[in-house]
Amino acid sequence: MSGSTYSLAFADRGSLLNRLHPLVKVACVFTAALSLFFFKDLLSGAMLFGALLAIALFAGKIPPRQILGSGRIIFLLGLLLMGFHFFMDPGKEVYRLGFLSITDVGLRQGPVFFFRLSAVVLASFILIWTTDTRDLMIALARAGIPYRIAFAVFLALRFLPLIQREMEAVKTAHAIRGRAVKSGFSHRFRLWRRYMFTILVNGLRKAESVSVSLETRAFGASDKRTYMKETTFSRYGWIALALTLSFTAALVVREFI
């Protein structure tokens, strides 16, 4: 696992979520994300976010330090969306900041969208933290999805922690040479451009290596593919899916009562 305050790498902690079938977790994430479109009240989104946080801590055994470290990404995206609605939603002007005005509708809807996006990002992180990408690839292939598409999903998720480690290595190298953390904004902006260029080049090199490896192994030559590892669907999967459907349905019904 990465040594940073947050990580996008999978870790098998022997938790309940680790033992669940990958497609069950994917279905739960889609169910939670779909229910958010019906939420118009702040409390519903906050309750779903709190439930996901409890699931991550107790059912996933994810360390609080890792969740808090990831909170920078989770809450930053939510805050950006909330700020957008503060200024862009039509309504009565409550406060003016330069040429921008905050409306009363924006103040009501902004927090709703904050929890919407934050809950989706946290659910996605839980899926990444607790799911072996190889198991997910096999489960998708067993479900009837062409194994080429399943392998593409596997590569996309597998590259996330690799890119993260690349970025940490580049940042550490620049920090050693130039104390980037204490430099001015313009200098740090130039450093970030260098980070992106280096990471992009390294990513392209890795992608080229993967394509060569696939070609030398005749990947895609046959219509079917066999796997050494099997994924099993247990009764806990049905229980988890039923609980997710029941909880989200209760929140949706609450919106219309």
35 and 107 together in one domain = yes
Pairing of strands 93-97, 100-103: antiparallel
| Domain assignment present for 168 | yes
Distance in angstroms (rounded) separating the CA atoms of residues 9 and 2:
7
pLDDT interval class at 3 (50, 70, 90): very low
Structure confidence at residue 250 (pLDDT): 95
Distance in angstroms (rounded) separating the CA atoms of residues 65 and 193:
29
How do residues 160-205 score in pLDDT, each as one tens digit? 788 878 777 777 777 776 655 556 667 667 777 777 777 788 888 8
173 and 123 together in one domain = no
36 and 108 together in one domain = yes
Q: Looking at residues 39-53, what average pLDDT do you find?
A: 92
* Residue 102 β-bridge partners: 95
How do residues 54-74 score in pLDDT, each as one tens digit? 999 999 999 998 888 888 878
Residues in Cβ contact with 163 at an 8 Å cutoff, skipping those fewer than 6 apart? 199, 203
| Domain assignment present for 221 | no
| Domain assignment present for 226 | no
97 and 206 together in one domain = no
- CA distance readout (Å), 35 to 31, 241, 247: 6, 14, 10
| Domain assignment present for 3 | no
Q: What is the chain's alpha carbon radius of gyration, rounded to the nearest angstrom?
A: 22
- Is the pLDDT at 255 greater than 50? The verdict is yes
| Domain assignment present for 222 | no
Residues in Cβ contact with 109 at an 8 Å cutoff, skipping those fewer than 6 apart? 85, 89
SS3 224: coil
- Is residue 29 within 8 A of residue 56, CB to CB? The reply is no
62 and 122 together in one domain = yes
212 and 237 together in one domain = no
- Is residue 153 within 8 A of residue 136, CB to CB? The reply is yes
* Residue 93 β-bridge partners: 103
Distance in angstroms (rounded) separating the CA atoms of residues 240 and 236:
6
**Domain with 96 in it:** 16-131+232-256
Counted domains in the chain: 2
Q: Is the pTM of this model over 0.75?
A: yes
| Domain assignment present for 4 | no
Report residue 89: phi and psi, to 5°: -70, 135
| Domain assignment present for 1 | no
DSSP 102: E
